[in-house]
Amino acid sequence: MTEYTPKERLYRALRKQQIDRMPAVCFTQTATVEQMEACGAYWPEAHADAEKMATLAEAGHTEAGFEAVRVPFDITAEAEHFGCGIKAGDLKQQPSVIKHVVKNMEDLEKLKGYSLKEGRIAIILEAVKILSEKYGEELPIIGSMIGPFSLAQHINGDAWFGNLFTGEEIVPALLDFCTDFNVEYAKAMVENGADTIAIIDPTASYELIGGEFYEKYALPYHKKIADAMKELDVATVLHICGNTTNGLSIMDKAGVNAISVDQRVDIKTATGNVENAIIVGNIDPVAVLWNGTPEEVAEASKKVLDAGVGLLTVGCGIVSMTPTANLRKMVECAINHKY
Ligand SMILES: [Zn+2]
């Protein structure tokens, strides 16, 4: 059978076309301390320096063996772009959002007219370009961004869920604003060489907000991003945390190519709940990948593969302290899986 490049293989896998074997990729954050030590690009500097970011992303390929490169490593650059307060990360911890900027429609007005040519958004776009120039012929270039629901929450802060339940006008207004930003940002990533877009929307979770709210406040916005990417022949992968098993049939309507599921999701049930997207996941990043042995990684991988997962990968972001040997084992299990 034809040997595909990793880029062609993932392209085909995400479109349910025939492939020779499973691609070994990761759609969530890939960096670890072992990789940082191997390549010399460390957190927190690698969050804010395009060269270092690209170098550390590359280590996910050269050290862990992932057949793709992916940036960035956190989900705060977008909120930071709109002026939210950020708690800096360190060698092991990612940065987090601690101060929010929009209480009402007036505050939201002030955010309009932003530029993608500034701040960490510009740095991430530059890192995509560096990686694409080096690996674009051979490897998939995965551009990742926070999804509109979680970004709106970052911008709005603690009031977000209350506003959602009381149906405040700021909710759809913020979601429209964030989605327009997401589409523009994703297009810029594609212009710089990204061929796959990972939408990380942790709190748009069925487990947290239920089906009715997901359908109203997340689905149309995810669909807008997926549609815009489809026009460019760019695949989308949607990652949402929590046990989304019973929400998958609704999430599937967004038209994304793949849904990345948490370790709490039962893969067999999950694959039965979708018609369009493939299900990817869902090795436990903490209990198995971080704290387990390579043998336990192999066992967990076999279970997920036997249950019919579309692509074997991690169930959420990789923990920075994860041993390379465990990542390599998961990669090996994916590569050895024949269809
Ligand atoms: Zn997650």
- pLDDT tens sequence across 265-295: 999 999 999 999 999 999 999 999 999 999 9
Instruction: Compute, in angstroms, the gap from residue 65 CA to the centroid of ligand 1.
Output: 21
Task: Evaluate whether residue 337 is within a structural domain.
Answer: no
User: Do residues 21 and 339 make contact, with C-beta atoms less than 8 angstroms apart?
Assistant: yes
- Which of 110, 97, 104 is CA-nearest to residue 151? 97
Q: What is the pLDDT of residue 72?
A: 98
Task: Evaluate whether residue 7 is within a structural domain.
Answer: no
- Residue 40 CB-density burial (10 A; 0-12 exposed, 13-18 middle, 19+ buried): exposed
Instruction: Compute, in angstroms, the gap from residue 187 CA to the centroid of ligand 1.
Output: 24
Instruction: Compute, in angstroms, the gap from residue 113 CA to the centroid of ligand 1.
Output: 31
Which two three-digit tokens encode residue 218?
Answer: 């997340």
Instruction: Compute, in angstroms, the gap from residue 247 CA to the centroid of ligand 1.
Output: 15
Give backbone dihedrals phi and psi of 143, rounded to 5 degrees, phi first. -100, 130
Instruction: Compute, in angstroms, the gap from residue 184 CA to the centroid of ligand 1.
Output: 24
User: Do residues 183 and 220 make contact, with C-beta atoms less than 8 angstroms apart?
Assistant: no
Instruction: Compute, in angstroms, the gap from residue 239 CA to the centroid of ligand 1.
Output: 6
Task: Evaluate whether residue 156 is within a structural domain.
Answer: yes
Instruction: Compute, in angstroms, the gap from residue 3 CA to the centroid of ligand 1.
Output: 32
Task: Evaluate whether residue 8 is within a structural domain.
Answer: no
Order of all β-strands in the sheet with 311-314: 69-71, 141-146, 196-200, 235-239, 258-260, 278-283, 311-314
Q: What residue ranges of the chain have pLDDT lower than 50?
A: none
| Cα separation, 148 vs 199, whole angstroms | 9
Note the pTM of the prediction, 2 decimals.
0.98
Strand partners, 59: none
Task: Evaluate whether residue 163 is within a structural domain.
Answer: yes
Name the region of 93 (left: φ>0; alpha: ψ -120 to 50; beta: rest).
beta
- Structural domain that includes position 157: 25-331
Task: Evaluate whether residue 122 is within a structural domain.
Answer: yes
Instruction: Compute, in angstroms, the gap from residue 56 CA to the centroid of ligand 1.
Output: 21
Task: Evaluate whether residue 66 is within a structural domain.
Answer: yes
Strand partners, 312: 281
CATH assignment at residue 221: 3.20.20.210
| Cα separation, 333 vs 300, whole angstroms | 10
- Residue 273 CB-density burial (10 A; 0-12 exposed, 13-18 middle, 19+ buried): buried
Instruction: Compute, in angstroms, the gap from residue 241 CA to the centroid of ligand 1.
Output: 4
- Which of 24, 2, 62 is CA-nearest to residue 335? 24
Q: What is the pLDDT of residue 1?
A: 56
Instruction: Compute, in angstroms, the gap from residue 237 CA to the centroid of ligand 1.
Output: 13
- Which of 124, 243, 137, 151 is CA-nearest to residue 195? 137
Instruction: Compute, in angstroms, the gap from residue 154 CA to the centroid of ligand 1.
Output: 16
Task: Evaluate whether residue 4 is within a structural domain.
Answer: no
Q: Which amino acid is at 29?
A: Q
Q: What is the pLDDT of residue 319?
A: 98
Domain count, the chain: 1
